[in-house]
Structure 1
Amino acid sequence: MTDSLTSDAEVVALRTRLQAASWRHVVVLTGAGISVASGLPTYRGPGGLWTRPDLEEVPDAGLLARDVSRVWSLFGPLREQVRTAAPNAAHLALARWEGRCGGSFTLLTQNVDGLHSRAGSREVVELHGSLRRTRCTNARCTLAPFEDSAAHMRAPVCPTCGEPLRPDITLFDEPLPVDAEWKAKHALRECDLFLAVGTSGTVSPASNFVRGAKYAGARTLLVNLTPMRPRHPDFDVELLGHAEHILPLLLGEG
């Protein structure tokens, strides 16, 4: 059964217990909720990108094949928000925790905002790519993904092959990048402490990560603003509140 913690005193007590243990392989999974305090929207929460009543098309592989410029028009405004956003206290707390961690540390993120790297995290696996990069739609093109913060409202043309360019992100119905999926699976096989932050835990394959960590024998924690419904049986503890408040407290900075 998952225990729910809501008070600062309970979080501090959990911190004391965690600090008394020696964790060799820490894995953190983050979702859109961790970046809300940086001014970025969630995907499925109230006011989320994919729950807007005016959203007529979901940015999936089919839309990319039909109309690359439409994909850009959906993500162009978000790219501008990402460009001006700054890491918040939750991102910074995780980066400092990684620096103090005595064993291996892997940060898996479903976010495409690049804020973990900007906060100083080193071992970041971007499961869904980065909105701060652009790549070619032609899989055979030799152009490597490149840094690009322009909020294109229609598809730019690849300078190498002439095909349309696209954001370097994973759309619905697209597989995860092979190297990102391999790193995630490898980290979870050895995990002894798993912390999920700001994620609904409903998007595959990330929805299976806590199950993989639990199978490896890990202690599993969830930090989220609202309770997960239905509760996930593989989480040991659920800490309810804003990530930018809870993480500094949980990780020894509050």
Structure 2
Amino acid sequence: MVDSFTSDDELRRLRERLRSTSWRQVVVLTGAGISVASGLPTYRGPGGLWTRPEAAEVPDAAMVAGEPSRVWSLFGPLRGPLRGAAPNAAHLALAEWESRLGPGQSFTLVTQNVDGLHTRAGSRNVVELHGSLLRTRCGNPECGLPPFEDVAERVRAEPCERCGQPLRPDITLFDEPLPVDAEWAAKKALRECDLFLAVGTSGTVAPASNFVRGAKYAGAWTLLVNLTPMQPRHPDFDVEVLGRAEELLPFLLGEGT
């Protein structure tokens, strides 16, 4: 049973519970919706990246293997807006919440986003499930060249200086496995969590869409903060809070009244 919290009185009660309980292990999952207030588009919502004509082909493992320059033509121009974006109040509220946790409390922020805004906001324990668009790596898994910071708005694949194979953005595309270290860190945190908060995510992209189930299995209290209701409703969320993350999170998580 999912309870929807939208009235002021309901939100105050929710805030008190979040503040009054000494959570042992907090896990937060964020999606593209948390970065909308920073001027970045979602993927599937109105005006989202995958709804645009130039993205008629969804970038996947086959595209990066056969047409690496096509991947760059889609993602390279996005680096400019990412460089110009700043963390919004939702990113900052999560970073401040993490900073207030005391001894014996753990906080893991798992993000599906590739914009790097959580780190820039000050969050320390960030797991980037889908990598970062502001990094580049070699497309040859045997090369050994480590991913490197890169903000160049490339529109075609360039050769790796070490092995000559095409470079690629350091992000996870469709039909590609998650980075092993990131997936392990996320699942480890979920096994021990007692509070699971998802923010700005459609809940449709696996495996992140299954994280709430893992948290619920561990006995966690589970909340979703999103602009629109999840369709269909996910039975493993205890609470659904509808509204803008940049307004709700400072109220629910901040120290003010």
TM-score, with length taken from structure 1: 0.98
Identify the match of residue 181 of structure 2 among 179, 192, 195: 179
Kept in 2, the 8 Å contact 1:87–1:119? The answer is yes
Per-residue CA shift, 1:26-83, capped at 9, x if unaligned?
A: 0000000000000000011111111224432110000111110000000012121111
Offset at residue 182 of structure 1 (A):
0.3
Residue 113 (structure 2) aligned to one of 111, 114, 133? 111
- Superimposed CA distance per residue, residues 129-148 of structure 1 (whole angstroms, 9 cap, x where no aligned partner): 00010000011112110000
Is the counterpart of residue 152 in structure 1 residue 128 in structure 2?
no
Moved more, 31-40 or 75-84: 75-84
**Runs of 5+ in structure 1 lacking a partner?**
none
Q: Which residue of 2 aligns with 1:28?
A: 28
Whole-angstrom distance in 2 between the partners of 1:177 and 1:96: 27
Secondary structure at the counterpart of residue 131 of structure 1: strand
2:50/2:56 contact within 8 Å kept: no
Q: Output the amino acid matched with 1:11.
A: L
- Counterpart of 1:168 in structure 2 is 170
Which position in structure 2 is the counterpart of 1:41?
Answer: 41
SS at match of 2:198: strand
Name the residue aligned to 1:197.
Answer: 199
Matched-pair contact (CA < 8 Å) for 2:55–2:74 = no
The whole-number CA distance in structure 1 between the counterparts of 2:20 and 2:93 is 19
% identical equivalent positions = 78
Map of 1:97 onto structure 2: 97
Q: What residue is the counterpart of 1:242 in the other structure?
A: 244
Q: Does the 8 A contact of 1:222 with 1:238 survive in 2?
A: yes
The equivalent of 1:81 in structure 2 is: 81
| One-letter amino acid matched to 2:168 | R
- In the alignment, the residues of structure 1 paired with residue 66 and residue 56 of structure 2 have an alpha-carbon distance, to the nearest angstrom, of 15
| TM-score relative to the length of structure 2 | 0.97
Deviations 1:171-195 (A, max 9, x none): 0000000000000110000000000
> Which amino acid in the other structure matches residue 50 of structure 2?
W
Whether the 8 Å contact between 1:93 and 1:253 is mirrored in structure 2 is no
| Residue of structure 1 in register with 2:17 after alignment | 17
The aligned length equals 254
The more displaced of 192-201 and 150-159 is 150-159
User: Could you list the runs of 5+ residues in structure 2 that have no partner in the other structure?
Assistant: none
SS at match of 1:99: helix
